């Protein structure tokens, strides 16, 4: 139930965003080394044995590989890092060029940059389940139409039966993990949330800014659970999220896209903050719902998302798709 690149959010049954099982290579200090400094770590991929390439994209400069790490199934995602404006002088000065072709005013070269510019963002999912492997394979998607009754009779029972884990979310909220990554926290149990970077964002430039606000409340699975009762929570996340991003990253609200996913990648209410102009995975109209619209809809109709027909994409291997087929909805 998703779009196309890596994130950690698999446990919500087939999102194309990366799962909570994702494990990045870590230093001995969980918080990033002494005083938060980066440190070298053991090369967990030195013995990686490739089984197959699940997907690759020349446009997005990434590749998804299935294989084994120490006899455990693993998925490795390799992604070229962006070229940053503040590195251009060094890049031009210290690189070597090899001429490939020249014709009148046009010429192309192979550029060999200094080693530090050859960095590749690497995500390791290990141990990887069959669900992870299928998730990263190229598959057809279908646009589903879900009425309020469909949610109650098909989607909700599927969610409850699967029992998708969000323990990794609770670890963040309880400060058991990723504490060093939290940008802001409002600890209020009713309207509070934590704000932290999404793993797709390397935090080196604001052009692809991507943060997630995760509510402290644990009784809201998705858009379908929202009523006018939750307006104070949504308004607090909306306003404070924008304020913090302006203070910390100098991005005004007019340059932000703030939205929720339906279906979400994991069933604990969270809000996405991305820079307008950055085509983040899942920001398309078939899945993203602007938070401003959500707030207005609930102000107009307290039960809006209980009854509204919603549309969302599902991949061919998604278990929920099978449920809709069995119910004669596809």
Each residue's pLDDT tens digit, 152-208: 999 999 999 987 889 999 999 999 999 999 999 999 999 999 999 998 888 888 999
Residue 40 has a pLDDT of: 61
Q: Residue 290 domain-assigned?
A: yes
**Is there a single domain that holds both residue 104 and residue 144?**
no
Residue 258, domain CATH: 3.30.428.10
**Is there a single domain that holds both residue 100 and residue 233?**
no
**Is there a single domain that holds both residue 99 and residue 209?**
no
**Is there a single domain that holds both residue 241 and residue 286?**
yes
Question: Is the per-residue pLDDT at 19 higher than 60?
Answer: no
Q: Residue 305 domain-assigned?
A: yes
Instruction: Write out the catalytic residue numbers.
Output: 270
**Is there a single domain that holds both residue 231 and residue 292?**
yes
Each residue's pLDDT tens digit, 241-280: 999 999 999 999 999 999 999 999 899 999 999 999 998 8
Question: Is the per-residue pLDDT at 7 higher than 50?
Answer: no
User: In sequence order, what DSSP letters do the residues of 207-276 get, joined into one string?
Assistant: GG-EEEEEES-SS--SGGG--GGGHHHHHHHHHHHHHHHHHHH---GGGEEEEEESS-SSSS-EEEEEET
Average pLDDT value for the chain: 85
**Is there a single domain that holds both residue 166 and residue 210?**
yes
Q: Pick from 13-22, 32-41, 81-90, 148-157 the range whose average pLDDT is largest.
A: 148-157
Q: Residue 100 domain-assigned?
A: yes
Q: Residue 107 domain-assigned?
A: yes
- Domain enclosing residue 191, as ranges: 139-326
User: 272 with 2: CB under 8 angstroms?
Assistant: no
Each residue's pLDDT tens digit, 269-328: 999 999 999 988 889 999 999 999 999 999 999 999 999 999 999 988 788 999 999 999
**Is there a single domain that holds both residue 211 and residue 310?**
yes
Residue 105: pLDDT band with limits 50, 70, 90: confident
pTM (predicted TM-score): 0.69
**Is there a single domain that holds both residue 165 and residue 198?**
yes
- The count of domains in the chain is 2
Q: Considering only 45-59, 223-237, 267-281, which range has the smallest mean pLDDT?
A: 45-59
**Is there a single domain that holds both residue 278 and residue 172?**
yes
**Is there a single domain that holds both residue 184 and residue 93?**
no
Residue 33 has a pLDDT of: 39
Residues in contact with 241: Cβ distance below 8 Å, sequence separation at least 6, in sequence order: 193, 195, 211, 213, 258, 271, 273
**Is there a single domain that holds both residue 205 and residue 298?**
yes
Residue 41 has a pLDDT of: 67
């Amino acid at each position: 139930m998703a779009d196309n690149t890596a994130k950690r959010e698999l446990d919500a049954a087939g999102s194309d965003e990366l799962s909570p099982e994702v494990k990045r290579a870590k230093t001995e200090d969980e918080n990033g080394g002494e005083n938060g400094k980066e440190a070298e770590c053991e090369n967990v991929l030195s013995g990686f044995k490739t089984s197959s390439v699940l997907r690759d994209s020349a446009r997005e400069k990434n590749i998804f590989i299935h294989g084994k790490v120490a006899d455990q199934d693993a998925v490795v995602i390799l992604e070229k890092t962006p070229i940053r404006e503040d590195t251009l002088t060094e890049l031009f000065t210290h690189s070597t060029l090899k001429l490939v072709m020249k014709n009148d005013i046009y010429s192309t070269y192979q550029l060999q940059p200094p080693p530090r510019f050859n960095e590749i963002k690497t995500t390791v999912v290990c141990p990887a389940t069959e669900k992870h492997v299928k998730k990263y394979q190229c598959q057809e998607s279908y646009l589903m139409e879900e009425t309020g009754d469909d949610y109650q009779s098909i989607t909700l029972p599927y969610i409850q039966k699967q029992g998708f884990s969000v323990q990794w979310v609770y670890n963040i909220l309880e400060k058991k993990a990723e504490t060093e990554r939290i940008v802001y926290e409002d600890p209020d149990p009713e309207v509070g949330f934590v704000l932290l970077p999404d793993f797709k964002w390397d935090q080196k430039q604001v052009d692809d800014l991507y943060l997630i606000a995760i509510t402290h409340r644990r009784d809201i699975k998705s858009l379908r659970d929202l009523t006018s009762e939750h307006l104070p929570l949504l308004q607090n996340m909306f306003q404070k999220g924008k304020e913090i991003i302006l203070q910390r990253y100098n991005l005004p609200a007019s340059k932000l896209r703030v939205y929720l996913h339906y279906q979400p990648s994991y069933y604990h209410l969270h809000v996405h903050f991305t820079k307008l102009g950055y085509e983040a995975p899942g920001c398309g109209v078939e899945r993203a719902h602007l938070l401003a619209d959500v707030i207005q809809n609930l102000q107009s109709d307290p039960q809006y998302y209980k009854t509204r027909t919603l549309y969302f994409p599902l991949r061919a291997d998604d278990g929920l798709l099978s449920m809709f087929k069995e119910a004669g909805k596809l």
